Amino acid sequence: MPEISRFFGIVIKMFFNDHNPPHFHAFYGEEVILVNIIDLSVFAGSLPPRALGLVIEWATIHRQELLDNWCQARDHHTLDKIEPLR
């Protein structure tokens, strides 16, 4: 699962040829969430509120890049790194 971004201890990854809906995985310590790229809803897992807020803020800024990476992952193409939240 390629890492596409990392910020404030949060690691964002995306699987190749993953299941729908279009989503990414956000890891923080031992915790992980799956976030729907279309509406930025969390559909699996949990993170502490502060970490969750940072993930959603980052995803809001980079939604189109996430969708582009989703399409590339579905076709087994190299994924682009996405700027971290600063």
Report d(CA 70, CA 74) in Å as an integer: 6
pLDDT by residue for the chain (86 residues), tens only, comes to 799 999 999 999 999 988 899 999 999 999 999 999 999 999 999 999 999 999 999 999 999 999 999 999 999 999 999 999 99
Residue 81 falls within a domain, yes or no?
A: no
Measured distance CA(25)–CA(33) in Å, rounded: 6
pLDDT computed for residue 43 by the predictor = 96
Q: Is residue 33 part of a domain?
A: yes
Structural domain including 67 reads: 3-74
pTM higher than the cut 0.85: yes
Question: C-alpha distances in angstroms, 72 versus 9, 24, 51, 54?
Answer: 25, 13, 27, 25
Residue 79 resides in a domain: no
**What is the pLDDT, as a whole number, of residue 8?**
98
Q: Which residues on adjacent β-strands are paired with residue 11?
A: 6, 27
| Res 73: pLDDT | 93
Residue 80: inside a domain = no
